[in-house]
């Protein structure tokens, strides 16, 4: 069984080579870096967040990191996965986004009470290119596992972006709208509240819903 990730928050100096010194400690201890984020970089200080899979005692890592002259403070923290869990992203027209969010948040609450960790992010957004850029960016977001496109008309470059992120393993649900995006999505749902509910059910470990077993993809 693979070891669980740990979160490490570091306050250090800011400047060239700082990250190199810190990651060198992880390398010497065989810790596999799964995520790194520069939370703040305002000279003379920076805040760095790492999620790593340790090869040994995490406290040894903390001690050696703390011994670096460029490091001021090291803390073990819970990972984003443990706190916020899987992310569902909803984007499109504001009214439709709001309705999808009602369903997603209500359903996520039901599963989170039973031990899941599912969070919902929204962005009201219009325009073919801004939406296409945003769709492609979802594949780069940590922990994002499902995207719901909520609007009245989407196609063109957005459709291309949808096909790209699906190839990368992202689940895409589309409202039943005009344009070619519904043809490219994994699932098409007419009612926006139901779309939010189904997005959560599709990613929740505590749900028995499985998109792959559906005989139809339009609802």
Question: What is the tens place of the pLDDT at every residue in 185-215?
Answer: 999 999 999 999 999 988 888 777 767 666 6
Domain count for the chain, please give it: 2
Decide which of 63, 81, 99 is a domain's last residue.
81
Decide which of 66, 81, 96 is a domain's last residue.
81
CB 149 within 8 A of CB 174: yes
Asked whether residue 219 is assigned to any structural domain, the reply reads: no
Residue 88 shares a structural domain with residue 67? no
CATH of the domain at 154: 3.40.50.10550
Tell me the pTM: 0.82
Residue 205 shares a structural domain with residue 103? yes
Q: For residues 154 and 215, which has the higher predicted lDDT (pLDDT)?
A: 154
Residue 109 shares a structural domain with residue 182? yes
Residue 117 shares a structural domain with residue 171? yes
Asked whether residue 208 is assigned to any structural domain, the reply reads: yes
The number of C-alpha atoms within 13 Å of 183 and in the hemisphere containing its C-beta is: 10
Residue 50 shares a structural domain with residue 100? no
Decide which of 51, 66, 81 is a domain's last residue.
81
Question: Can you tell me the distance from the alpha carbon of 18 to that of 12, in angstroms, rounded to the nearest whole number?
Answer: 8
* pLDDT per position as a tens digit, 91-128: 998 889 999 999 999 999 999 998 889 999 999 998 99
Residue 62 shares a structural domain with residue 133? no
Residue 102 shares a structural domain with residue 56? no
Query: Bridge partners of 123?
Result: 91
Residue 89 shares a structural domain with residue 117? yes
For the chain, give the longest Cα–Cα distance: 61
Residue 50 shares a structural domain with residue 143? no
Residue 52 shares a structural domain with residue 93? no
Residue 66 has pLDDT above 80, yes or no: yes
Residue 72 shares a structural domain with residue 130? no
Residue 122 shares a structural domain with residue 181? yes
SS3 at position 154: coil
Q: Which domain holds residue 121?
A: 84-213
CB 57 within 8 A of CB 28: no
């Amino acid at each position: 069984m693979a070891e669980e990730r740990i979160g490490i928050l570091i306050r250090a100096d800011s400047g060239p080579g700082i990250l190199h010194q810190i990651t060198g400690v992880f390398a010497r201890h065989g810790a596999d870096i799964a995520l790194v984020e520069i939370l703040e970089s305002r000279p003379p200080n920076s805040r760095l967040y790492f999620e790593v899979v340790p090869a040994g005692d995490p406290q040894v890592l903390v001690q050696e990191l703390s011994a670096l002259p460029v490091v001021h403070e090291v803390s073990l923290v819970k990972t984003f996965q443990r706190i916020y869990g899987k992310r569902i992203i909803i984007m499109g027209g504001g009214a439709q986004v709001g309705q999808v969010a009602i369903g997603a948040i209500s359903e996520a609450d039901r599963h989170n009470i039973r031990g899941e960790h599912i969070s919902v992010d929204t962005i009201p957004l219009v325009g073919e290119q801004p939406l296409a850029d945003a769709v492609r960016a979802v594949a780069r977001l940590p922990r994002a596992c499902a995207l719901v496109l909520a609007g009245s008309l989407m196609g063109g470059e957005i459709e291309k972006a949808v096909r790209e992120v699906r190839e990368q393993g992202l689940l895409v649900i589309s409202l039943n709208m005009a344009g070619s995006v519904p043809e490219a999505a994994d699932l098409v749902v007419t009612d926006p509240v139901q779309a939010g509910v189904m997005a959560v059910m599709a990613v929740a470990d505590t749900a028995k819903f499985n998109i792959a077993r559906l005989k139809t993809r339009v609802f």
